A and B are shown apart, each in its own frame.
Chain A
Amino acid sequence: MTEPILTAAGLDRSFGGIHAVNDVSLEIPQGALHAIIGPNGSGKTTLFNLITGHTRPSAGRVRFAGEDITGMPYSKVARKGLAKSYQITTVFPLLTVFENVRIAAQAAAHSYVFWRPADGIRAVVAHTEEVLERIGLAGERDVIASNLSHGDQRRLDLGIALATSPRLLLLDEPTAGMSPSETAATVELVKELNRDVTILMIEHKMDVILSIADRITVLHQGEKLFEGAPEDVKSHPRVQEVYLTGTL
């Protein structure tokens, strides 16, 4: 069996007196679509930040693609092939949709080139167009990103992550604030993306999670409450309790 693409072992982080993440371990095998769920404040986003290097863990290690990345700066983690889309939409607001994706697409090979025009690099332009097709924004390529609808901005956010050709994609609530039809389209997109990239996602909408994830981790008050297949999560009494009452 091949090594999992991402391993988090005993991750711990407290802010002041609050134990945001408490001894959480994860193993994400190559090609998985793994979901993390949990009520507000259960430590999901902090866990993401520990993985990406935004926050240093108080204890524990993170291994990605066979390398220890604990405490590595975010940009370096990104260069290793770990991309993230944001809970609060983060795009380049005053650049065109095309340029938003193109910036990400050029990162792999042309980061610090200053002697030739960026728009003349055919491979990057072609890759950008491909990603725009995939996320369904090819028709909006010349629109300034901040003029897009909320749903389209969410897709662009995802597209930027995708354009870096990552090996692991972290999605922080990709359907947050989306209408039912936008949600359905995004679910389809995520499913399709999972054909060639491993995905770890945070999601609030239970129906979304249950329909696409192949494995689910439930966090509660910073601790791992349960991990298993979707059908087991549904029937797990403690999970039901947390989700129905919000407390334990």
Chain B
Amino acid sequence: MTHLTTPSATDGTPTAGEAAVTVARLSGAAPARWTWGQLGLLVVLAVVVLFTVPNPSLAIGMLIYGLWAAGLNLLVGYGGLVSFGHALPFAWGGYAAGLTLLHVSSSAWLALLVAVVSMAVLSALVGAVCLRRTEVYFSMLTLAFAQLGFFIALQWDDLTGGDDGLAGIPVPTLWLPGTTVELNALRDPLTFFVVTAVLVLVVFAGLILYTESPMGRVLQAIRESEERARGCGYSTRLVQLATFVVAGAVAGLAGGLFAMLNNFVGLQPYWLLSGVVLIMVILGGRSSLFGPFLGAVVYLLLESTLSRYFASWQLIVGAIFVICVLAFPQGLWGLLTQTLPGLFRKRRRTR
């Protein structure tokens, strides 16, 4: 472990969010921090999605992908750990929930519980290996595990349905105090949307609390200087591993919900989304939890609109992504909370 012996980190090594430095340098003070306000924004966004997105399956998908991306940003934005394999926990959650519904019980709670708990355990194992390295080596290890999962899902067709996936997952029933509802996205999309929105909001609130807690703050400190965080007495690997587990569990929940939404789990799209969810995070912005959520909504909106008119819609999305990264490296969230207010301030000053 040679990096232990060299005094590290501040000698010009780029950290996550160099642009934030620039912005911070320009203003000379800390950028405005949004904490619980993000929860309010998410409520507004969910309502807007509910009333403006005509396709209910897309609207529900936005909530699910949004939560998944927000969870990934714990690693990417807050931890400086860029996972290239975040499809693994999403797909695992999907298969775990799907198999539970198919073979065990139609209880939605049970299926989601199995998805989340099993994925948390698996994340602890995968994370323990991946976190033995940092930076790009960490990314490559996460990618390798996602590929491993893909091929297992492909080969083990007795269990996973292989290439065909698991079709015909039964409609789950959700027990609520005093009543039981069916989560049928086709027949009753509103119930599905509301249930998903409530779950997503609760978990999102938990994520905000995590980033604001002593442990979440240490995570951000480690991103800034792992050496210094160690010097304060923190077991930095442990904090990163805990975060890896949280992000994995959240992705497992999202994958489980996605399986219920589509009554299907398979190689496509589940295993192919590691890049997509990372794009959502970067498009939305890495400096908040709401940003990636917004990024997911915008990405899905672009996808659904463009794919209607262009066969090669991904080319256009890719171009938009490149432009965004070059022009607004802090993503939509940075654009909305830093760049635009900065412009207004400047205009007022010149006047």
Q: Mark A44-87, 1 if CB is under 8 A from B, else 0.
A: 00000100001100000000000000000111101100011011
Complex Cα spacing A74 to B231, Å:
7
Instruction: Pick the interface stretch among B23-31, B47-55, B62-70, B302-310.
Output: B23-31
> Contact at A94–B230, with CB atoms within 8 Å?
no
Choose from A112, A116, A160 the contact partner of B232 (Cβ within 8 Å): A160
- Per-residue A-contact encoding for B1-37, CB less than 8 Å = 1, 0 else: 0001101111100010100110011001110000000
A118 in contact with B235 (CB, 8 Å): no
> What 0/1 readout, one digit per residue, does chain B (202-227) give for beta carbons within 8 Å of chain A?
00000001101111111011001101
Pick the contact of A93 from B21, B30, B216, B235 — CB < 8 Å? B21
Known: A94-B20, A95-B220, A144-B21. A54 touches B5 (CB 8 A): yes
- A78 close to B214 (CB less than 8 A): no
- Residue pair B233, A107 in contact (C-beta under 8 Å): yes
Determine the residue in chain B with the shortest Cβ distance to A86: B7
- The answer to whether A103 touches B229 (Cβ under 8 A) is yes
Taking a contact as CB atoms under 8 Å apart, the answer to whether A107 and B29 are in contact is no
What B residues does A121 contact at CB under 8 A? 214
Contact A92/B228 with A117-B212, A143-B29 known, Cβ cut-off 8 Å = yes
B5 near A78: Cβ-Cβ < 8 Å: no
With the chains together, A88 CA to B8 CA distance in Å?
8
The interface residues of chain B lying within 8 Å CB-to-CB of A110 are: 214
Contact assessment for A119 and B212 in the assembled complex, using a CB-CB cutoff below 8 Å: yes
Q: Kindly list chain B residues whose C-beta atoms are within 8 Å of the C-beta of A78.
A: 230-233
Contact B15 A94 (CB under 8 A): yes
Structural contact, A144 and B212, CB atoms closer than 8 A: no
Query: Which of B17, B24, B233, B234 is the most central at the interface, judged by chain A CB atoms within 10 Å of its CB?
Result: B233
Q: Is the CB of B215 within 8 A of A114?
A: yes
Total residue contacts A-B, CB cutoff 8 A: 137
Q: Does residue B238 face the partner (Cβ distance < 8 Å to A)?
A: yes
Known contacts: A106-B214, A114-B216, A118-B212. The answer to whether A84 contacts B231 by CB under 8 A is yes
Establish whether residues A90 and B21, one from each chain, have CB atoms under 8 Å apart when the complex forms: no
Cβ of A74: which chain B residues have Cβ within 8 Å of it?
4, 230-231
A147 in contact with B25 (CB, 8 Å): yes
Decide yes or no: A118 and B213 within 8 Å by CB, A93-B15, A94-B21 being known contacts.
Answer: yes
A75, A87, A116 interface centre (most CB from chain B within 10 Å): A75
The distance in angstroms between the C-alpha atoms of A104 and B29, with both chains bound, is 21
What residues of A have a CB within 8 angstroms of the CB of B10 in the complex? 88-91, 93
Contacts of B228 in A (CB 8 A): 86, 90-92, 160
| A115 CA to B209 CA, complexed, in Å | 7
A108 to B, closest residue via Cβ:
B233
Contact call B234/A75, Cβ cutoff below 8 A:
yes
Q: Is the CB of B7 within 8 A of A88?
A: yes
Residues of A within 8 A of B5 (CB): 49, 54-55
In the bound complex, what is the Cα–Cα distance between A90 and B228 (angstroms)? 6
Q: Does B173 contact A (CB under 8 A)?
A: no
Give the chain B neighbours of A79 by CB distance below 8 A.
233
Residues of B within 8 A of A92 (CB): 220-221, 224-225, 228-229
Does A114 contact B233, Cβ atoms closer than 8 Å? no
Interfacial residues of chain B within 71-95, with CB under 8 A of chain A in the complex: none
Is A164's CB under 8 angstroms from B30's CB?
no
A153 CB to nearest chain B CB (Å): 9
Chain A min CB distance to B218 (Å):
7
Residue of B nearest to A116 (CB): B213
Assembly CA distance A117 to B214 (angstroms)? 7
Q: Is the CB of A111 within 8 A of B214?
A: yes
Given contacts A86-B7, A88-B11, contact A112 B220 (CB under 8 A): no
A236-B244 Cα distance, complex, nearest whole Å: 58
B140 within 8 A of A: no
Q: Which residues of A contact B339 (CB under 8 A)?
A: none
Q: Which residues of A contact B214 (CB under 8 A)?
A: 106, 110-114, 118, 121, 124
In the complex formed, the residue of A with least CB distance to B25 is A147
Whether A192 sits at the interface, judged by CB under 8 Å, is: no
Tell me, yes or no, whether A146 is within 8 Å of chain B by CB.
yes
Separation of A106 and B215 alpha carbons in the complex (Å): 10
Kindly state whether residue A99 has any CB partner on chain B within 8 Å: yes
Query: Is B25 touching A104 in the complex (CB atoms < 8 A)?
Result: no
Residue of B nearest to A85 (CB): B231
Q: Are the C-beta atoms of A54 and B4 separated by less than 8 Å?
A: yes
Query: Does chain B have a CB within 8 A of A161?
Result: yes
Inter-chain contacts of A90 with B (CB < 8 A)? 7-10, 225, 227-228, 231
Give the distance in Å from the alpha carbon of A108 to the alpha carbon of B218 in the complex. Answer: 13
| A78, B232: Cα distance in complex, Å | 6
Pair A114/B210 contact, Cβ less than 8 Å: yes
Which residue of chain A has its CB nearest to the CB of B31? A144
State the Cβ distance, B228 to closest chain A Cβ, in Å: 5
| Bound-state Cα–Cα, A117 to B213, Å | 4
B123 → chain A closest CB, angstroms: 16
Given A94-B17, A94-B21, A115-B209; 13 other pairs, CB 8 A cutoff: A76-B233, A78-B232, A89-B10, A91-B224, A94-B224, A95-B224, A102-B217, A106-B218, A114-B210, A144-B21, A146-B21, A146-B25, A160-B231
A sample of 25 inter-chain contacts (CB < 8 A) reads A54-B5, A75-B230, A83-B231, A90-B8, A90-B228, A91-B224, A91-B228, A92-B228, A94-B21, A104-B232, A106-B217, A107-B232, A111-B215, A111-B233, A113-B214, A114-B213, A115-B213, A117-B213, A143-B28, A144-B28, A146-B21, A147-B24, A160-B228, A160-B231, A164-B233
| Pairs A-B, 4 closest by C-beta atoms | A92-B224, A78-B233, A79-B233, A114-B215
